[in-house]
């Protein structure tokens, strides 16, 4: 018996659809950097929209700022903060980074000679530690270099973010309209919930990064630890990676403190011990209570995939993207499985009762 073949028009439409999908994927790969910039701008628009609404509530007499004026006020505010950072914080940061890079080999050799006289540290290979710290810190310092060399992309992102803030609702409505009518309400509700949680996660993570950066800057400065500008900046950047980031910044700060004295090393260890106890017990539960609880392995995996696909920008949007995917998976897979399981248990219970 010969197999039943699909009609020729049906086969042709399937072939054309497959070719169109492949062509679309190839085009998306070619312009992936543009799409990534658009995606980053949309994420910033999600975060900044509440600030725009807050500025819009300001009124002087009968005058209230519109969306355009609110965006302009926000841009001027961020530009002022960025200018102050460049003028006051960037020069000592680069100075410490340059000094640290030039003195690192000599200091590490001195530290290795000291450690060989300490029990249980005779066989420690400091060259491997040097390679590891250089690789990690090089990636962190590369963020500054990459951002500094992307002036055009920065201004383009500002313009796109402004348009997303102004026309965000229209774009959202248009995107929802592309889906079947019976799915639009549920998808809209899910995306709005994801937007709220994503905004809370970004703000909370930024607050935690700023917290460790400011605290380490103040404490290391009071202790006169060398290169405390770089150590504070690195601690803030590394804090986006759970567990591993904290251990890496602890290792780097401990090695730098041990260059001078064991007293400073002890002070660094005590500071990190107290701070992360406070963060885990007090700061993180309150700051991140309304966000998505992503497991550390998920965060690290997302950062690795995002960095491999699109470098610094990919790493920046990797974790928010993972949070968005987590909300969609919870809505369309986990809850569906719960409903199916509940229905199955109900059927079993009813059958047992009838029996």
Q: What residue spans define the domains of the chain?
A: 14-346
How far is residue 302 CA from its own chain's centroid? 9
Q: What burial class does residue 147 get, using C-beta atoms within 10 Å of its C-beta: 0-12 exposed, 13-18 middle, 19+ buried?
A: middle
**Cβ neighbours for 199, distance < 8 A, ≥ 6 positions apart:** 46, 47, 49, 50
Q: Give Cα separations from 34 to 28, 37, 43, 157 (angstroms).
A: 9, 5, 14, 10
CA neighbor of 329 nearest in space, from 201, 190, 192: 190
Confidence (pLDDT) at 149:
47
- Tens of pLDDT along the chain (355 residues)? 455 555 556 677 778 878 888 888 888 888 887 888 888 888 888 878 888 878 878 877 777 787 778 888 888 888 888 788 778 777 787 777 777 777 766 766 666 666 656 555 555 555 555 555 555 444 444 444 444 445 566 677 778 888 888 887 888 888 888 888 888 888 888 888 888 878 887 788 888 899 999 999 999 999 999 888 889 988 998 887 777 788 889 988 998 888 888 889 999 999 999 998 998 888 877 776 666 667 777 777 887 888 777 776 777 788 788 888 888 888 887 665 555 555 555 454 555 545 4
Cβ(186)–Cβ(320) under 8 Å? no
Confidence (pLDDT) at 272:
94
Rg of the chain, C-alpha, whole Å: 26
Integer Cα distance of 241 and 320 in angstroms? 13
Confidence (pLDDT) at 11:
74
Structure tokens of 135?
Answer: 């690789």
Integer Cα distance of 174 and 179 in angstroms? 10
Three-state DSSP at 191 gives: helix
Integer Cα distance of 146 and 343 in angstroms? 53
């Amino acid at each position: 018996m010969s197999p039943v073949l699909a009609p020729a028009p049906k086969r042709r439409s399937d072939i054309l659809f497959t070719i169109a999908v492949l062509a679309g994927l190839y085009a998306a790969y070619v312009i992936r950097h543009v799409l990534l910039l658009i995606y980053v701008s949309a994420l910033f628009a999600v975060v900044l929209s509440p600030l725009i609404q807050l500025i819009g509530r300001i009124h002087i007499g009968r005058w209230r700022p519109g969306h355009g004026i609110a965006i302009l006020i926000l841009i001027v505010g961020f530009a002022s903060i960025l200018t102050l950072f460049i003028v006051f914080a960037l020069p000592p940061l680069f100075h410490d980074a340059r000094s640290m890079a030039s003195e690192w080999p000599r200091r590490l050799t001195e530290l290795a000679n000291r450690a060989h006289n300490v029990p249980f540290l005779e066989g420690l290979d400091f060259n491997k530690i040097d390679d590891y710290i250089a690789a990690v810190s090089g990636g962190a310092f590369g963020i500054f270099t990459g951002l500094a060399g992307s002036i055009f992309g920065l201004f383009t992102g500002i313009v796109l973010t402004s348009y997303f803030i102004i026309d965000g609702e229209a774009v959202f409505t248009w995107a929802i309209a592309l889906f079947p009518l019976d799915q639009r309400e549920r998808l809209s509700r899910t995306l709005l919930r994801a937007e709220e949680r994503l905004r809370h996660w970004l703000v909370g993570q930024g607050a935690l990064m700023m917290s460790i950066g400011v605290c380490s800057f103040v404490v290391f400065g009071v202790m006169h630890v060398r290169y405390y500008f770089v150590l504070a900046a690195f601690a803030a950047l590394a804090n986006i990676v759970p567990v591993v980031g904290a251990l890496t910044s602890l290792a780097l700060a401990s090695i730098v403190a041990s260059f001078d004295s064991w007293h400073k090393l002890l002070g660094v260890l005590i500071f990190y011990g107290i701070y992360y106890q406070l963060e885990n017990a007090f700061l993180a539960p309150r700051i991140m209570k309304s966000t998505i609880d992503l497991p550390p392995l998920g965060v690290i995996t997302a950062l690795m995939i995002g960095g491999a696909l699109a470098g610094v920008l990919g790493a920046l949007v990797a974790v928010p993207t993972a949070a968005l995917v987590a909300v969609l998976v919870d809505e369309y897979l986990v809850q569906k499985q719960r409903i199916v399981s509940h229905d199955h248990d109900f059927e079993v219970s009813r059958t047992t009762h009838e029996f």
